[in-house]
Structure 1
């Protein structure tokens, strides 16, 4: 019985070593392979200086950019659902075709930003500034603005969002 137990134990040890080696090989393969690097996982970028950074075509759901300097940053076709951009400086940033649904942009500066065809549905933007922003085709459904901000945006609103089919003027609840 003792020989059987030691033979069984040595075979199990060999199997365990093989499994560890295979796991290491798989890990090396996944790290070095062409895994889609367009996905960036939810991260914290709070209070960083990321001026001019390129986040285009990235999935950044749930990430935090609170009080971050993002002026002239690129977020073209990025998935920013649920992102917190509280107090961020996004002056001149490009959000063309970006998805910002249910994001927090309170007190953010989006002055002169390109928001063409961006989705803001359900976003929290109270206190944000949009002076000089391009909002053609942007969808602001269920977004609460300060009245003076809404009025400024209504003056420059145009277009229809290609994803939702909604008119920018209607999503801003402008007097037509």
Structure 2
């Protein structure tokens, strides 16, 4: 079977599955809930369908069109959706552990409360996407575009955001630790990041440190060395917790220093 015949076969199978799924949505006795586990529907058109809760785990969905879809609560674990289109779709609460979304388009998509652990979003467009409270632990996102995205309370622990874009993104309360943001374009995003030890915000501009930190807010705009000196005054290092805090603060400053080089 040649490529053209394979594409036609996939299109026909998809039509049958989606038709039964639509019937199931209105009358469960007549239709059948869609199940795409392990199936190949690359370059197929899913646009506009209500596929909430459907299982796409281990599926191959390269170049598929999921624009304007309801994909809330779907399972994309280990799926390959590289180059797929998810523009203006609702992916709230999806499970996408280890999924491959390289070069996919999530412009204006909703991914709030999603689990995206160890997923590969390299070179993705997340422009104006909503990732409120998303779990992005271990996420691979080199050259990802978060411009104007909502990253409030999103978690980035052990992630790779090398050369990512955050222009005008909302990163209030974003949790970040052991994450590579070297060469990231922070631009006018005022990075107010809540690290794993508490609420603290950093913004580094021309080697001046602007921050939101208990008891030290009056010194915002000081040099990095001045800030560290003030920090030691307010947080004595005899306290083991303060020692850990200082280590995290230095790490955060190093991250931002590399990012703006």
Which ranges of structure 2 fall in alignment gaps of 5 or more residues?
Answer: 1-22, 32-47, 51-67, 194-201, 204-208, 211-261
Q: 1:43 to 1:134 in 2, by over 3 A?
A: same
Q: Which has the higher contact order (CA 8 A, sep 6+)?
A: 1
Is 1:157 paired with 2:186? yes
Q: Could you tell me how far 1:41 is from its partner in structure 2?
A: 2.7
Structure 1 or 2: more strand by fraction: 2
What corresponds to 1:8 in structure 2?
none
State TM-score, norm by structure 2: 0.48
Alignment counterpart, residue 142 of structure 1, candidates 173, 182, 186: 173
What is the CA–CA distance in structure 1 between the aligned matches of 2:86 and 2:168, rounded to whole Å? Answer: 21
Shift of 1:43: 0.5
Residues 170 and 131 of structure 1, relative CA distance in 2, 3 Å threshold? closer
CA distance in 1, matches of 2:178, 2:94: 29
**Residue number in structure 1 paired with 2:101:** 70
* Structure 1 segment 34-113 matched on structure 2, within 5 A: 38-113=69-144
Aligned to 2:190: 169
Aligned to 1:132: 163
Inter-partner Cα distance in structure 2 for 1:87 and 1:52: 18
Structure 1 spans left out of the alignment, 5+ residues: 1-23, 160-167
Structure whose alpha-carbon radius of gyration is higher = 1
Q: Give a deviation string over 1:122-175, Cα, whole Å, max 9, x none.
A: 11111111101111111211122226646x47x63123xxxxxxxx22424222
Q: In angstroms, what is the RMSD of aligned CA positions?
A: 2.6
Change (3 A) 1:147 1:50: closer
Paired residues, number:
138
